[in-house]
Every structure is written in C-alpha cells, then in structure tokens.
Amino acid sequence: MFDPTLLRTFLAVVQTRNFTQAARRLGLRQSTVSQQIRRLEATTGRQLFSRDTHTVALTADGEALVPLADSILAAHARADSYFAGAQVRGRVRFGASEDFVLSRLPEILRNFRASHPLVDLELTVGLSAILYDAFDRRELDLVFAKRRRGQHRGQPVWRERLAWIGGESSRPEPATPVPLIVYPPPSITRDRAIEALERHDRPWRIVCTSGSLSGLRAAAMAGLGVTAHAHSLIPPGLSEIRGRHRLPDLGEVEFVLLGAEDAAPDSPVAALSAAILAAGDRLHRPL
C-alpha cells in the first residue's frame, strides 16, 4: 500500500514545505512531485496537504502519516544498509551545525557507522558560516547546516521558523532592552535576531556570548536572557517566548546539505547524505 518512492516524496514536501524545492532535492520535475502526492492521497483515501499558491501545510491525516512514513523508510534503509552498506568504504569529513548537538543526529550517525563499518567518519561541529568556509577550503566533504536568506547553495533538507526561546525566568519586559544570548560572529541566528530587533526599533544588549549550544542553553536556563533558535530543535529545559513580551518575528530558516549534490553515487559522502535524508522527520523531532 505504501510505496517507498511516494513516501520519500511526501517527506521531502513535508520538510521543505515547498513542491519546487522538494522536486529539486529529489531530482524530479515539480509536476512529478505533484503527481506522486496525488497518487499517495488516492492510495490512502485522505487529503494529506492543504495548499494554495503561497503555502503548503499538513492536514491532520498528513500529520498522522509522517511518523508512519518515517518508520517504513527506516526499515527500508536498514535492509539496504545490511545488504549493500558494507561495500561502501573510504573517508568522509562531516561538518554539522551546533544546532544539532542536542538533536537525534548522534543517533543517526551511530546507525550509519554500524551499517557502514568500512567508512571512516570524521565529525566537526561548529557555526554554519564557519563550516561553509571549511568546505570551501576543502577541509570538509559534507556539511549539514543553516544557510542565509538569499543563498542557493546546498540541497534543502527542511525549512522551519525561528523562535525566541529562554528559561522560565527569561521573559524580557517590553519597556526594557532585550537581553540577548548569542553565538559569536559569524552566526546566522545572531544576525537574524539583531536585524529583527533593529527593524522594529526594539533596544537590545548582549548579555552572553558562547560558541556552543550548551553554553547558550546554560545562560538561558540561568535566566540571563533570550536567544533565537530553530523551533523544532529547542533544547530541553527551554521554551518559546510568546504573548505580551512582543518580540519581533524572526522568519524562517533552511537547513541544507552542502556537498551532497556533487557526490559520486557509491561514495561515503553519498551514503551519509542518504542516511540523513532517510532519517526524515525524526531528525528534528523532540528527543
């Protein structure tokens, strides 16, 4: 009933929230993606997306299908890895954004190493902009990170909104400067937070700078201030700040794989890229 090809297309649309970007990621035409989604909706007998010319959103039935599609594709990936994974050998120098330190990425990398024992995996964790520079210097083979607005490099994995987050006592009053907890420059979320505040003439001050997500989390939990972070990757112990605090909208951010599109089909880079994409919605689901 559930064709894995259709499920992969479904998850690509879920994660990118855009039929054109999903098609680009899958190497298909947009019309093919639309046709495959219609086939899946016909198979399930349910409408999975509500869409117009500007937005793509999941219906309740679409939401219910996401974890099921994840499980089915994970089973297929395990079978593929068991019978073919060990044939892939070599080295892959992988750079991952700090955003993923407290996500399910470690679990995905552990499974990848188990199913590809002949691949030497080297991991670098850092700020997205620094990882991009390392990739350009050919110090990394694959990068999984955010990209700035207006950039077109990389293969989109998913897109979502940024949120203001903090600890229980991190609730800035509208009449006071916003206390910011930020990464050092160059940082995409730092720039977005400051740009949003200045665009709305909201005073701000930096109360903590840390190069690690753990450092930002500790400062936020101590009540020092607030920080900008991808909504689905909010660290444990922190929550989104809403309501009367009137913090400006931060917009959306895209996470991409840089280096995947040019990788040879039988290379370690292609294998790791496939493992990350196959993880589907698990990657940015709460731990």
The Cβ of residue 262 has, within 10 Å, a number of other Cβ atoms equal to: 10
Read off the pTM.
0.78
Residue 132 has pLDDT above 60, yes or no: yes
Residue 1 has pLDDT above 80, yes or no: no
52 against 113, higher pLDDT: 113
Per-residue pLDDT reduced to its tens digit, 200-210: 999 999 999 99
Residue 135 has pLDDT above 90, yes or no: yes
Residue 84 has pLDDT above 80, yes or no: no
pLDDT of residue 287: 59
pLDDT of residue 189: 94
Chain mean pLDDT for the chain = 89
Q: Which of 172, 143, 83, 180 is nearest to 263 (CA)?
A: 143
Residue 36 — very low, low, confident or very high, per pLDDT cuts 50/70/90? very high
Q: What whole-number percentage of the chain has pLDDT above 90?
A: 56
Per-residue pLDDT reduced to its tens digit, 191-247: 999 999 999 999 999 999 999 999 999 999 999 999 999 998 999 999 999 766 679
Residue 150 has pLDDT above 90, yes or no: no
122-151 average pLDDT score: 94
